[in-house]
Amino acid sequence: MRAARRFTIRGRVQGVWFRDSTRRQAQSLALTGHAINLDNGDVEVFACGAPAALDSLAEWLQRGPPLAQVSEVIVAQAEWQDLPGFLIR
């Protein structure tokens, strides 16, 4: 089974290695997608893979890497995309 989700992470999430740490976490869970910095200071994560792996990523995103201070994670279902890996944009 495969699924896709879009996460918007708010708080102190830029300049703290959030995207790279997310990429490593997603790769360890066999997820594909991307992490990008948004102009408003948030980070957007789009991930595709097994629902259980997406749940694990969602749990990790609640805290992020050690220097991050996550205040909110907004989750939305998304349309599956067949992507080659997990990229940082």
Q: What does the pLDDT profile of the chain (89 residues) look like in tens digits?
A: 899 999 999 999 999 999 999 999 999 999 999 999 999 999 999 999 999 999 999 999 999 999 999 999 999 999 999 999 999 98
Catalytic residue from among 37, 40, 63, 89: 37
Q: What is the pTM of this model?
A: 0.96
40 flagged as catalytic:
no
Sheet holding 32-37, edge to edge: 69-77, 3-12, 43-49, 32-37, 86-88
The residues facing 68 across adjacent strands are none
| 19 a catalytic residue | yes
What is the C-alpha to C-alpha distance for residues 81 and 36, in angstroms, rounded to an integer?
17
Catalytic residue selected from 19, 23, 24, 89:
19
Q: Identify the structural domains of the chain with CATH numbers, from first to last.
A: 3-78 (3.30.70.100)
